[in-house]
Chains A and B, each alone.
Chain A
Amino acid sequence: MAEAVESPGDPGTTTPRPLMRDLKAVGKKFMHVLYPRKSNTLLRDWDLWGPLILCVTLALMLQRGSVDSEKDGGPQFAEVFVIVWFGAVTITLNSKLLGGNISFFQSLCVLGYCILPLTMALLVCRLVLLAEPGPINFMVRLFVVIIMFAWSIVASTAFLADSQPPNRKALAVYPVFLFYFVISWMILTFTPQ
């Protein structure tokens, strides 16, 4: 992770990083995702704690209970995890193969943090589903998911688009679109058992 902290006097021992400082760094990046503007904070001081927290939250909430039949249900915990991380790795590889000049972990960091709007959409959907089901229920969830999907795309392209040469921007952005589309679909079709 960036910003390694070592006490200058003794090589080989490190003062343990205070937890609050890490949490503050993660929180600061959440804010950058929610209000995306051109800043280098997400890229320069990348970390993977935020994506991990978001992915675990997403997977825990989307997984189906163990009593359901094996074949016919929503995704398991591991399936969500695999989709998010393999998807992010594939997009990063794609971006680098196309000639982008962003590093591997920076890209993973950005893609992971930009799942935040969709996680918020999942929480809202969960609350909305407590009310009675019906077409209005579905329309509200659809509206929320679409807004958050657009927010995720805008946030991630704000950080990632500059790293590609201009004649290949669309090629690099399309897989990001597909990635968040699939996650949005999983959130929209979520039905608690």
Chain B
Amino acid sequence: MAAPDELAFHEFEEATNLLAQTPNETTTRSDQLSPKGHVAVTVDSGASYGAEDEVEESDKTLLQEEKQQPGFWTFGYYQSFFDVDTSQVLDRIKGSLLPRPGHNFVRHHLRNRPDLYGPFWICATLAFVLAITGNLTLVLAQRRDPSIHYSPQFHKVTVASVTIYCYTWLVPLALWGFLRWRKGVRERMGLYTFLETVCVYGYSLFVFIPTVVLWLIPVPWLQWLLGALALALSAAGLVFTLWPVVREDTRLAAGVLLSVVVLLHALLAMGCKFYFFQPLPPEPMASPHQATSQPAATGLPPTLPRSVAA
């Protein structure tokens, strides 16, 4: 068994030898480069620059090579998707809340730096908020009608998170695949990368978070109004972002694509409303025997009226 210092010494020599042979190679981190490496580059390039210029050249090539994407098995690859500041995330959220017709979310807000932080945590928040507010409506319903059995309904958290995450990942995947196929057919179409599509969908779900919280207010027409408003904002954001890409295509394909996108979004909103929120039972009457209507979601048998109320 060799002593540890011997092995370290050999490694150091090997690195400098390699650098001497192949001046364009980089080590993984530039601060590991020894001065000998720079000297080796100078000797091998043989150009008639001053010594300072050559060192600058080698520095530039090193920087360029480092800016290339690291492989997907490295941690740095995934770190590049979280390269956002707080102000950028807030700016993207604001952009998704206020869609404007000429204002492409991808070009204006993402600017070739899509992130995964926003979509991931917006989906997580939405899933938990859905489960929690859905549970709260059950609490409110039980206070009106004590015969409803209250339970924490913990399985709804699982359902909510699976639904939301599948929607935010699978639908952009399908959309991106479809757009790529259309681009193969018609060359002039633009294209978004997969991450940009995921970003657009993820941030467009943000408007549902306050909507779901406001759905606690037990006024049915208000709930439908808020739902429609949120759906309109969210779908408008999606449509305005997809329109520049899709308008090069035939009218039929563009129309079908946009309507499918809006339809899926509407299905998600309505599915959430019906599954997680139950309608409030009517106000309890003076005498419980005169109750003639039953709460829809609880399935209790109707109580027989003792006397027919006028």
Give me the interface of A with B, judged by CB distance under 8 Å.
Answer: 71-75, 79, 94, 96-99, 167-171, 174-175, 178, 181-182, 185-186, 189-191
Contact = CB atoms under 8 A, between A and B. Distances in A.
A171 B117 CA distance: 9
B293 interface: no
Given A99-B79, A185-B132, A174 B151 contact: no
Interface in B80-113: 81-87, 89
Interface residues of B, number: 25
Nearest to B80: A97
B49 interface: no
5 contacts: A94-B117, A170-B86, A174-B121, A186-B154, A189-B135
Given A178-B124, A178-B125, A185-B132, A167 B151 contact: no
Contacts of A97: 78-79, 81-82, 117
Given A72-B149, A99-B83, A171-B86, 14 more contacts: A72-B153, A73-B153, A73-B154, A74-B152, A75-B152, A94-B117, A96-B75, A97-B81, A167-B85, A171-B85, A171-B117, A174-B121, A175-B124, A178-B124
Given A178-B125, A185-B132, A171 B79 contact: no
B152 A189 contact: yes
B128 interface: yes
A175 to B, nearest CB: 6
Contacts of A178: 121, 124-125, 128
Interface in B135-193: 135, 149-155
A103 to B, nearest CB: 13
Contacts, number: 59
Contact of A72 (B83, B84, B132, B151): B151
A72 B149 CA distance: 10
B84 A171 contact: yes
Interface in B47-74: none
Given A72-B151, A73-B154, A185-B132, A168 B121 contact: no
Interface of B: 75, 78-79, 81-87, 89, 117, 121, 124-125, 128, 132, 135, 149-155
A170 B86 CA distance: 6
Contact of A98 (B75, B117, B154): B117
B210 to A, nearest CB: 16
Q: Which of the listed residues B86, B89, B152 has the most CB atoms from chain A within 10 Å of its own CB?
A: B152
A74 to B, nearest CB: 4
Contacts of A72: 149, 151, 153, 155
A74 B154 CA distance: 5
A184 B68 CA distance: 44
B78 A73 contact: no
B125 A71 contact: no
A191 B135 CA distance: 14
Contact of B121 (A73, A175, A182): A175
B72 to A, nearest CB: 14
A98 B85 CA distance: 9
A71 B155 contact: yes
B128 A182 contact: yes
Contact of B86 (A96, A99, A169, A186): A169
